[in-house]
Structure 1
């Protein structure tokens, strides 16, 4: 079903299969109507997310999201989950830094029940004490496990050091200290001010017409407040570039996370930076980091780099895990490869190979209805336009070595990184 979105004839643009639906009540959604299978996939998001937690309540958005399907309306948690199971409906919620997301998947024959349960979850969550205590304890158990996981420790520490006093510096999942004080009133208040029609984005794929979807949008989301009451989040740049922080943990390998400045998604040079990152460390087996760190020196099994485009900052990360005695060497090589690609740029052959992979693999993002819906939602969140699927591969093809060298000149500060190491790295200390 989904692959047809990218394989129509050249005479017809792929985005012509995407319809922007506006409900009678003014709620918008993107729809790919496809009756190949009797399925409907819905992906949606409310802008805000964990950035709205507040300095004293890390984890509030995440706990709220986890409880939306734990009882709603007249149904307690057990009854709500039983109703989902009886109708074979998949409903999930989770919170990120910039938005709270939801996902619905249902058979067409069960759509009435599915959409009604979704309506209850977003407009009438119960937040019963039993569910709050149970879900909170489960989340705290996860946090306890993560407290000894070097990857989790390194990532959380990096954000805390990079963004002190900013919303992005707080852990999305909260802490063992921040979760217990959260009350039912806190959860209800968070939902009331962040789940609204003004900050809602929706993508739907499957066996539903535009006319019916319009009615369903109003039925599901129409009772939400018209406007969200979001606290403004300021733009920010990462602190601590050029420093190393070591967290001692008795493990045989050191986990290394290196982060620096990148480009935000709306930046016109973002695609050139995306291709540049693929060449550096975004490709599993052909990247410069893989060749230098794994193939040439055998320092690590896996090494990578990737971009993170948050709403208020662009970031560029690299990381690996290696023997404690070789951590310093690994950091030095990764930093050297960062600087080299920024100073010299890639070769024409590297660019050609990157383009071939990035263009050829794009269709794999659309091989299920849920993936299509997820991609359409992300395109909305990134504000790339309904015709982005048509333009994306051409944007990749247009990138030149000169473009990437221009990006490198803009990313002067990327030659320095904030490095966090968790383990017992020989010869390394923080500072």
Structure 2
């Protein structure tokens, strides 16, 4: 009789090297020579929460301009240099960070690092580029003024965090961007792009020694610390009567939310499981079953967890006919109440845990995805061991855990709701 040998799970953490450059810059590296590519993801502390009062969108605009001319290359020259070598470099800002990524063929990695060095150390902020980027963002606002999803998201955030930086749109408004000067952009750049809170991950055909040299070339000349403003902790505001934004369309777009569970909270993994059961699991979720399948109220309905440096959100949304908006929201609120009161069933818990553990590998199926995940872990304060421990944390969630955390997260009060359209029944 042939003995059966158990297959030991592959350790993701074991593939990650912690690299320290000669100049003291740290990064996480996954060497992979299957294809001749190098992907680098990086993040600086800052983002839209650092925008000056009355000038929302400064950080996002600054990030958009980092690859619009740098050093001795104007915008056209910089992008031509990227295109000539099939190099991809991009930047963006979210609420708490300014981030960037680079992707290049390994044969062009030297040229790619030189261009990255220019972008992060010597952005030009030329007047014509500033005007063009401002005009592009402003034009997108005109389109969004008729987009119910954009209006609902913006309206909900403003209601959730009144008077707080998280209540402002990351890209600002046409009015706030009009007041952003080149001096504001340069100041934001100086405060944000520093080595102090820089997190980096690299994946691909490169070894630790070469990566260390690249890190010093690209980031070594940055100042160590920027003068970031303190951001106060905040919770999603209490709910009540829905905020209605009038728009003459046949459907109502609904956004709802409550305070979430922070990322480093011991209950966070149980919250992930509970959210999957409610609305994160799409076809298997209660909201999908009750709102779409049983009643045909909407094509799509969902819930999600979002965590930021100074807050956390449980949120969700759907779109439905104006005349069925109240019925839809009532069904959603009922399902949230039931899950908060009674918790999930054992079968729901088992299916959710199997899906969440089985699908985790999909977050690591490309070089850029791997690099992004590694930067996120660093930013959130986790070690590489989390890569192996995460599924065990999901599997350890018990039915009692799910019931307790469901009550904590979903039973905290009435939903904060924003509706765009002309909903009936309110």
TM-score, length-scaled by structure 2: 0.97
Q: Unaligned regions of 5+ residues in structure 1, if any?
A: 1-8
User: Quick check: 239-248 or 206-215, which moved more?
Assistant: 239-248
CA positional deviation for 1:165: 1.2
> 2:376 pairs with 356, 367, 378, which one?
378
TM-score, length-scaled by structure 1: 0.96
Query: Which residue in 1 is equivalent to 2:409?
Result: 411
Query: Which residue in 2 is equivalent to 1:348?
Result: 346
> 1:203 pairs with 201, 204, 229, which one?
201
Find out whether 1:145 has 2:138 as its counterpart: no
Report the 3-state secondary structure (helix = DSSP H, G, I; strand = E; otherwise coil) of the residue aligned with 2:190.
Answer: helix
Separation in 2 of the partners of 1:189 and 1:318?
Answer: 36
Query: Which residue in 1 is equivalent to 2:100?
Result: 102
Deviations 1:103-147 (A, max 9, x none): 100000000110110110011000000100011100000011111
User: Quick check: 246-255 or 232-241, which moved more?
Assistant: 232-241
CA positional deviation for 1:407: 1.2
Residues 27-426 of structure 1 aligned to structure 2 (within 5 Å): 27-411=25-409, 414-426=412-424
| Change in 2 beyond 3 A, CA 1:237/1:413 | farther
CA contact (8 A) 1:344 1:405 kept: yes
Report the 3-state secondary structure (helix = DSSP H, G, I; strand = E; otherwise coil) of the residue aligned with 1:414.
Answer: coil
Separation in 2 of the partners of 1:411 and 1:18?
Answer: 34
Separation in 2 of the partners of 1:373 and 1:424?
Answer: 44
CA contact (8 A) 1:284 1:290 kept: yes
Separation in 1 of the partners of 2:262 and 2:181?
Answer: 35
Deviations 1:321-349 (A, max 9, x none): 00000000001110111111011000010
CA contact (8 A) 2:258 2:409 kept: no
CA positional deviation for 1:48: 1.1
CA contact (8 A) 2:41 2:102 kept: yes
CA positional deviation for 1:385: 1.4
CA contact (8 A) 1:15 1:387 kept: yes
Separation in 2 of the partners of 1:418 and 1:261?
Answer: 10
Report the 3-state secondary structure (helix = DSSP H, G, I; strand = E; otherwise coil) of the residue aligned with 1:277.
Answer: helix
* Equivalent residues, number: 420
Report the 3-state secondary structure (helix = DSSP H, G, I; strand = E; otherwise coil) of the residue aligned with 2:293.
Answer: helix
CA positional deviation for 1:242: 2.4
Separation in 2 of the partners of 1:69 and 1:349?
Answer: 50
Separation in 1 of the partners of 2:178 and 2:409?
Answer: 42
| Change in 2 beyond 3 A, CA 1:94/1:360 | same
CA positional deviation for 1:184: 1.0
CA contact (8 A) 1:261 1:413 kept: no
Separation in 2 of the partners of 1:425 and 1:253?
Answer: 8
Deviations 1:220-276 (A, max 9, x none): 001111112110101001214223100110011000000111111010110000000
Separation in 2 of the partners of 1:285 and 1:415?
Answer: 27
CA contact (8 A) 1:335 1:415 kept: no
Separation in 2 of the partners of 1:43 and 1:287?
Answer: 33
CA positional deviation for 1:55: 2.0
Report the 3-state secondary structure (helix = DSSP H, G, I; strand = E; otherwise coil) of the residue aligned with 1:351.
Answer: helix
| Change in 2 beyond 3 A, CA 1:70/1:344 | same
**Cα RMSD (Å) of the superposition?**
1.1
Separation in 2 of the partners of 1:396 and 1:420?
Answer: 32
CA positional deviation for 1:16: 1.1
Report the 3-state secondary structure (helix = DSSP H, G, I; strand = E; otherwise coil) of the residue aligned with 1:316.
Answer: strand
Q: Unaligned regions of 5+ residues in structure 2, if any?
A: 1-6
Separation in 1 of the partners of 2:300 and 2:59?
Answer: 32
Poorly superposed stretches of 4+, deviation over 6 Å: none
Separation in 2 of the partners of 1:162 and 1:11?
Answer: 43
CA contact (8 A) 1:161 1:240 kept: no
Separation in 2 of the partners of 1:13 and 1:426?
Answer: 54
CA contact (8 A) 2:141 2:173 kept: yes
User: Quick check: 298-307 or 353-362, which moved more?
Assistant: 353-362
CA contact (8 A) 2:70 2:119 kept: yes
